[in-house]
């Protein structure tokens, strides 16, 4: 189960003003005594224990450009049948209380990326959320410790995001992904975006290795990255059948572990950061190769951290990138 992979890479208070059925935030629930914050009616609500959940969605923010919001809805666009004002009727909206006009849905379950507590993997109903922090165990790096939040999820449903920082040539793929081929130029390529600044997060991705060149071929996910230096940490596959944790600015390998894989395989990779301590994990979902862990510290720290993808002398298709802040 995918929860095992993310596990490798962690308090509610009483408010007398909330009434039963009132909306609540599972990351900071404030329900009356005797009630809990559960998935209910397209979002989260304070309900008595044992109330049947209605879906697995949560009040997570969309990754698109923000709109002017009043009481959680775009001003002037709310109707009785379109609670979030995104132009999609509640009866067919996969996030009826979260603005998501594109209805993006990476995992194809009943709930869109904007309100899914685990966007890349289909959830059970109700989802398993052991620490009740709004992030399902399958996506939670610390499933037994509350306080995690999905900071960013990008499923590349509309090709290469215009706001992301790009080096190399990236393009929309044919399978709801983005692709880049660096096998000829071998100049290296990156696709990044600003990440959390709190120094504790997990950055993960799923990609397909389309081709590998020679001489330092590698592909992976980066955290605490600065494209102007460049600097940061990369959790990457490389041509020598290994997984590395690589410190980019000094150009040093923090650690590596043997990891057999093949062109055409699909992988999940993730790097977790706790201050300047990093952990790297990789899983070949095509061959079901067991996850691999590498831990180490970095001497560099970016003041404007970016997260995303970095490749060299290889070709990849990137399915998604997710950031969970701790």
- Going from the C-alpha of 218 to that of each of 153, 204, 210, the distances in angstroms are 23, 16, 12
**pTM exceeding 0.75:** yes
Which helix (H) or strand (E) element contains residue 6?
Answer: helix 2-8
**C-alpha closest to that of 193 among 208, 173, 178, 182:** 178
> In this structure, what token pair is assigned to residue 309?
């993808």
Residue 111's Cβ-side half-sphere holds a number of Cα atoms within 13 Å equal to 29
Which of helix, strand or coil describes residue 183?
coil
Residue 49 CB neighbour total at 10 angstroms: 8
Q: What is the reported pLDDT for 40?
A: 54
Q: What is the reported pLDDT for 240?
A: 79
Contacts of 22 (CB under 8 A, 6+ apart): 31, 45, 46
- Going from the C-alpha of 161 to that of each of 64, 102, 166, 320, the distances in angstroms are 10, 14, 10, 12
The pairs formed by 235-243 with CB atoms below 8 angstroms and a separation of 24 or more are 235/269, 235/270, 235/271, 235/278, 235/280, 235/281, 235/282, 235/294, 236/269, 236/310, 237/209, 237/261, 237/267, 237/269, 237/282, 239/212, 239/214, 239/313, 243/269, 243/280, 243/282, 243/292, 243/294
- Going from the C-alpha of 299 to that of each of 225, 276, 279, 286, 293, the distances in angstroms are 13, 7, 15, 35, 20
User: Across-strand partners of 220?
Assistant: 236, 310
Q: What is the reported pLDDT for 102?
A: 95
Q: Are 148 and 141 in contact (CB under 8 A)?
A: yes
Task: Tell me the pLDDT of the chain (326 aa) as tens digits.
Answer: 454 445 444 332 323 333 445 566 665 556 665 566 666 545 666 666 655 444 433 333 333 333 344 444 444 455 668 988 999 999 999 999 999 999 999 999 988 999 999 999 987 777 789 999 999 999 999 999 999 999 999 999 999 999 999 999 999 999 999 999 999 999 999 999 999 988 799 999 999 999 988 778 999 999 999 999 999 999 999 877 899 999 998 898 999 999 988 899 999 999 999 887 899 999 999 988 877 888 887 666 678 899 999 999 999 999 999 999 99
Which of helix, strand or coil describes residue 2?
helix
What's the longest Cα–Cα distance across the chain?
Answer: 65
**C-alpha closest to that of 204 among 322, 50, 53:** 322
**C-alpha closest to that of 93 among 41, 53, 46, 47:** 41
- Quick one: DSSP state of residue 111? S
């Amino acid at each position: 189960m995918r929860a095992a992979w993310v596990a490798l890479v962690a308090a509610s208070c009483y408010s007398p003003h909330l009434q039963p059925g009132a909306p609540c935030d599972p990351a900071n629930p404030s329900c009356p005594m005797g009630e809990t914050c559960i998935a209910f009616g397209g979002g989260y609500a304070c309900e008595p224990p044992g109330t049947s959940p209605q879906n697995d969605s949560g009040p997570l923010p969309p990754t698109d450009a923000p709109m002017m919001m009043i009481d959680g809805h775009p001003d002037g666009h709310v109707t009785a049948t379109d609670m979030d004002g995104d132009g999609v009727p509640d009866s067919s909206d996969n996030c009826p209380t979260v603005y998501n006009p594109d209805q993006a849905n990476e995992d194809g379950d009943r709930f869109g990326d904007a309100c899914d507590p685990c966007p890349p993997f289909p959830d059970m109903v109700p989802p398993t959320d052991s620490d009740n922090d709004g992030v399902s165990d399958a996506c939670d790096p610390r499933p037994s410790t509350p306080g995690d939040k999905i900071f960013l999820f990008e499923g590349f449903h509309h090709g290469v995001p215009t706001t992301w920082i790009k080096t190399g040539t990236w393009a929309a793929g044919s399978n709801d992904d983005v692709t880049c081929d660096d096998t000829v130029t071998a100049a290296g390529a990156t696709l990044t975006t600003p990440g959390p600044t709190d120094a504790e997060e997990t950055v993960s991705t799923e990609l397909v290795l389309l081709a590998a060149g020679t001489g330092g071929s590698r592909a992976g996910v980066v955290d605490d990255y600065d494209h102007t230096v460049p600097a940061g940490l990369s959790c990457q596959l490389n041509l020598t059948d290994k997984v590395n944790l690589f410190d980019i600015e000094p150009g040093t390998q923090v650690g590596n572990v043997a990891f057999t894989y093949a062109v055409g395989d699909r992988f999940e990779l993730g790097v977790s950061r706790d201050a300047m301590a990093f952990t790297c994990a990789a899983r070949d979902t095509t061959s079901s190769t067991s996850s691999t862990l590498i831990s180490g510290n970095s001497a560099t720290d970016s003041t404007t951290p970016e997260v995303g993808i970095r490749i060299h002398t290889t070709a990849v298709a990137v399915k998604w990138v997710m950031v969970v802040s701790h």
